[in-house]
Chain A
Amino acid sequence: MSTTVIAAAGARNLRVSWVLLGLSIAAAIAIVLGSQWYRERESRESTSAQRRLSEATGRVEAARRERDSLQESAEVFRTLLERGLLQGEHRLDLVEMVNSLRVRHGLFSLDYEIAPQRTLQLPGGRVYPALEVLASRVKVKLRALHEGDVLGFVQDLGQSRQGFYPIDRCLMRRVEAPADALQPHVEAECAFEWITLKDKNANRAS
């Protein structure tokens, strides 16, 4: 009986407290969930920022390495630019240069042949991502009074300030002629690659 009385009275008396308890639980859950959501969002953003920082750090380090690397090779590159390595073939220039060398070294005759330009196969199949290496095979046949003239021609050609002409073959042969005669005593056949480079990125950019 007494238990019933207490229970009935308690239910009425404690109704507000139970409601408050429910509200407190609901509010606490809402606060916890809301704050948890906010914290996780911040955590995700922080993780994203960490990733972006890592990327930015990597980008900067790569840029630093590139800067250091490029600073070392900038002077070399400038020289190469001046020698027209990236300017394509100006065949008339080569014709004029060869003619001038012929005159300079007093060659009796000079025959040459410039083959069509092609993509040059590099040793080991090496490929440069940003470059296309082009070359025209050039063969020269010349006759001179003395082998020194031939060598002078070859030397000047190799040291030309315009273009790169690595001579890879040369055949020099003595021509029988009286020693005191003003006739060719030496004839030579040489071959070299006229190398030019093409910037692949320039094509892509255009």
Chain B
Amino acid sequence: MRHFLYLTNSRLVSMVTQGKRIAARREFAVSGAGAGEFERYLAGVVDIPTHLFVDLSEEDFRLDTIPHVGARDREAIVARKLSQIFRSSPYRYAVMQGREPEGRRDDRVIYTAITNPELLRPWVDAIERHAIPLVGIYSAAVFSAMLLEELDLVFAHTLLVTFTPGQAMRQTYFRDGEIKFSRLTPVDLEEGQTLGMMVAEETTRTWQYLDSLRHFSGDDRLEVCVLVHPSDRPAVQPELRDFAQIQYRLVDMEQASMKLGLKPAPLDSTDEEVLVHLFLMRPAANHFASPELRRFASLRRARLALNQVSIAILAAGVAWGGYNVFRAFQGNQAEQQLVRSIATLDREYDEITRALPSFGVGGSTMRDVVAFYNASIRSFPSLPEFLVPVSRVLQAQPDVRLSQLAWQATDDPKAMPTMTAGGVKPNVNVQSVAKSEGSAPQQPPAELNANPPYAGGKYEVALLEASVRVGGNDFRGALDRVQKLAEAIGQIPGYRCEVVESPLDVRTSLAITGRHSGSDPASMEARFVLRVMRERVVT
């Protein structure tokens, strides 16, 4: 919501806007009574930012050029010029209008001021007393340049003619869209004079004035744009006749309002509502109000900014907090899901545990028992199983007589079971004399170790002591028979067999004794020892 005041020499119009439309309008007479009424009225619009447009005949314009300098210096020059030209008025303003096309290319400036500040005093004092946030004081003439732009009425030489509340006509001259001059004339029609006649007379007079100031060349033509309500059009249009130097353009107030989006359109030819609406569309910078006059607006802006910052911080905090809570909530939901999963897993664990075959012992015990059985007992060798294939081979050798068998299950592939001495007494005339090596051990079978380690049984080793019946002194035949027997046993799958003691050891490292007397026997029993080994196949 904003509050606009439009001050002329005879009326003060108050317009309160909401959004882009004028929501309330009230007029006050420029008089003591009007000022009192206005002061009472202000009590209801205390906190609304207020903009004051002035459209007074006491507004003066001066054109000038200043050297093109830096911004800071330019401000100083302009301020000094303003104070020199308009010494008695605090309401002064300078419009920078670009640079001269030639010469030093100085900056073009137009100075404007309300030359009689007393006209504003009662209103500004009332605003001050009520601490109204005055955003700015604007020159209606300067601001009306925007109207030309919005209505596409920018010509090389344009004279904008508008009517103000309180029966006055403002003529503002623009060259290439830049304001150069403006004057306000009371609409004080003489008898028989129409509004159109007055407009024609006044605009012609203004042309003459501008021409005297050499604003026009010979070919220039002044485009006079008159903003007029349809109700006044019949009184104006017939009197406006174009000349070579002047061309009139009647700008229909309703059409202009439609183009600007002003609804509803003004009911008469006064331009205050159009300018206010234009200001809402294209806000302008302050023209005349000093910082002190604008302090309540500044404070209000600061307060709003602080409040907005407060709200923003609070909103950011709430948003951040909300995000944290949201994430925490998500985490909480995920945690609940996890807890449910854990409970499910715990139930499954309990079910598995309950369903485990326990047999009264723990799972590890059961596992160890089975592992021990598989590793140490299940495949442990058996003597009968070992002997069955060997026996089949021996049965095929009727001349071989087994006298002693020493069998051992062991993990040592070089193990040599212990036999007892005196199993076979060979009846041979020739014998090798064994020292100790190479013969089967013949020790008492007693185990010296009272705590022998468990025989893993990877190997089965057996010593077979036997004799073979051959012809007398047929040692060659005996050796051959024993060798063939060993080979036959060795051919059993998984068996290996070697001759440990042969019927006659003919190695050169041993001694041989022979005793022949009388006649040799027809046959002899030749002793030998075989070592048979079987390796357990691990499945």
A residues at B contact (CB < 8 Å): 2-3, 5-6, 9-10, 13-14, 17-18, 20-21, 23-25, 27-32, 34-36, 38-39, 41-43, 45-46, 49-50, 52-53, 56-57, 59-60, 63-64, 66-67, 69-71, 73-74, 76-78, 80-81, 85-86, 115, 118, 120-123, 126, 128-131, 133, 135, 137, 151, 154-155, 158, 164, 166-174, 189-191, 193, 195, 197, 199-202
Which residue of chain B is the closest to A6 with respect to CB atoms? B295
Cβ–Cβ contact B382 & A158, under 8 A: yes
Cβ–Cβ contact A128 & B371, under 8 A: yes
Cβ–Cβ contact A74 & B357, under 8 A: yes
Cβ–Cβ contact B299 & A201, under 8 A: no
CB distance from A169 to the nearest CB of B (A): 5
Among B324, B346, B364, point to the contact of A38 (Cβ < 8 A): B324
In the bound complex, CA of A120 to CA of B366 (Å): 19
Among A32, A78, A170, A197, point to the contact of B324 (Cβ < 8 A): A32
Which residue of chain A is the closest to B450 with respect to CB atoms? A115
Cβ–Cβ contact A151 & B384, under 8 A: yes
With A2-B295, A77-B366, A121-B454: A17-B303 Cβ-Cβ less than 8 Å: yes
CB distance from A118 to the nearest CB of B (A): 5
In the bound complex, CA of A193 to CA of B406 (Å): 18
With A46-B338, A123-B411, A170-B383: A86-B314 Cβ-Cβ less than 8 Å: no
CB distance from B16 to the nearest CB of A (A): 23
Cβ–Cβ contact A14 & B299, under 8 A: yes
What is the total of A-B residue contacts with beta carbons within 8 Å?
A: 281
With A31-B321, A168-B457: A131-B339 Cβ-Cβ less than 8 Å: no
Among A18, A71, A118, point to the contact of B306 (Cβ < 8 A): A18
CB distance from B130 to the nearest CB of A (A): 14
In the bound complex, CA of A101 to CA of B292 (Å): 129
B369: interface (CB < 8 Å): yes
Among A14, A27, A74, A120, point to the contact of B454 (Cβ < 8 A): A120
12 A-B pairs besides A6-B295, A35-B321, A77-B370 with CB distance below 8 A are A28-B314, A28-B318, A42-B332, A46-B331, A50-B338, A164-B377, A169-B445, A171-B406, A171-B407, A172-B407, A190-B383, A193-B454
Mask, B259-275, CB within 8 Å of A = 1, is: 00000000000000000
With A80-B370, A130-B368: A53-B345 Cβ-Cβ less than 8 Å: yes
Q: Which residues in A have their C-beta under 8 angstroms from that of B383?
A: 151, 154-155, 158, 167, 170, 190
Q: Which residues in A have their C-beta under 8 angstroms from that of B374?
A: 76
Main SS of chain B's interface residues? helix
In the bound complex, CA of A21 to CA of B356 (Å): 68
Q: Which residues in B have their C-beta under 8 angstroms from that of A60?
A: 345, 348-349, 352
Which residue of chain B is the closest to A167 with respect to CB atoms? B383
Among A66, A126, A169, point to the contact of B356 (Cβ < 8 A): A66
Q: Which residues in B have their C-beta under 8 angstroms from that of A67?
A: 352, 355-356
In the bound complex, CA of A41 to CA of B370 (Å): 48
Which residue of chain B is the closest to A64 with respect to CB atoms? B352
Among B307, B357, B403, B456, point to the contact of A123 (Cβ < 8 A): B456
CB distance from A137 to the nearest CB of B (A): 7
With A67-B356, A167-B409: A135-B369 Cβ-Cβ less than 8 Å: no
Mask, B319-339, CB within 8 Å of A = 1, is: 011111101110110110011
In the bound complex, CA of A86 to CA of B372 (Å): 12
| 15 contacts across the A-B interface (CB closer than 8 A) | A3-B291, A5-B292, A6-B292, A28-B316, A35-B322, A43-B328, A43-B331, A56-B349, A63-B348, A63-B349, A70-B363, A129-B364, A130-B364, A166-B409, A170-B383
Cβ–Cβ contact B366 & A21, under 8 A: no
Query: 7 tightest A-B contacts by CB?
Result: A28-B317, A35-B324, A35-B321, A24-B310, A73-B370, A31-B321, A17-B306
Among A49, A158, A201, point to the contact of B362 (Cβ < 8 A): A201
In the bound complex, CA of A5 to CA of B294 (Å): 12
CB distance from A174 to the nearest CB of B (A): 5
Cβ–Cβ contact A197 & B369, under 8 A: yes
CB distance from B101 to the nearest CB of A (A): 39
In the bound complex, CA of A164 to CA of B295 (Å): 110
Which residue of chain A is the closest to B375 with respect to CB atoms? A126
In the bound complex, CA of A197 to CA of B316 (Å): 73
In the bound complex, CA of A69 to CA of B370 (Å): 10
Q: Which residues in B have their C-beta under 8 angstroms from that of A32?
A: 317, 320-321, 324
Q: Which residues in A have their C-beta under 8 angstroms from that of B410?
A: 168
Q: Which residues in B have their C-beta under 8 angstroms from that of A74?
A: 357, 359, 366
In the bound complex, CA of A13 to CA of B133 (Å): 12
Cβ–Cβ contact B310 & A137, under 8 A: no
With A6-B291, A46-B331, A49-B342: A36-B324 Cβ-Cβ less than 8 Å: yes
Q: Which residues in B have their C-beta under 8 angstroms from that of A28?
A: 313-314, 316-318, 320
Cβ–Cβ contact B352 & A42, under 8 A: no
Q: Which residues in A have their C-beta under 8 angstroms from that of B457?
A: 166, 168
Q: Which residues in B have their C-beta under 8 angstroms from that of A59?
A: 345, 349
Among A57, A118, A201, point to the contact of B365 (Cβ < 8 A): A201
